[in-house]
Amino acid sequence: MQAEMLELAKYRIGKAKECLADAIDAFEENRLSNSINRSYYAMFHATRALLAPESFDSKKHSSILGYFNQHYIASKKIDACYYQMIANAFRVRNKTDYDDFYIVSKAEAQQQLDNAQAFVGFIDDFIADMRYYK
């Protein structure tokens, strides 16, 4: 992998971890909608970190998720449960950000936070395994 792509992947995974820390803080402060938003963005930035070596990026979240599904899930490089996590987080984040009067439950926010922690940890480990990029 080219050095600059590795640096970009590291930068993006750093953003993912920062969003994850924000999600934890928001959850602990009972700011549940914000926790869901930050949980989703943690997964989103981790996915963008994964895609950095392929020089694929998009401003559209659906394009990032679609590329991830097509090139990593369908090819069985990554288990489908990870796509389900981010796709669900995308739907829930859209509801909390854009639907009037959508009430987030603590259990729903906890589930999204747990998924984000698992997702970011997995992608971070996946990227760190340099055998993948050879």
**Residue extents of the structural domains in the chain:** 3-133
Q: What is the C-alpha to C-alpha distance for residues 134 and 14, in angstroms, rounded to an integer?
A: 23
CATH class, domain 3-133, is mainly alpha
**Residues 34-60: tens digit of each pLDDT:** 999 999 999 999 999 999 988 889 999
Percent of the chain with pLDDT over 70: 96
Percent of the chain with pLDDT over 90: 84
| The two three-digit tokens of residue 19, written as one number | 């969003």
Q: What is the C-alpha to C-alpha distance for residues 115 and 88, in angstroms, rounded to an integer?
A: 10
Identify whether the C-beta of residue 105 lies closer than 8 Å to the C-beta of residue 33: no
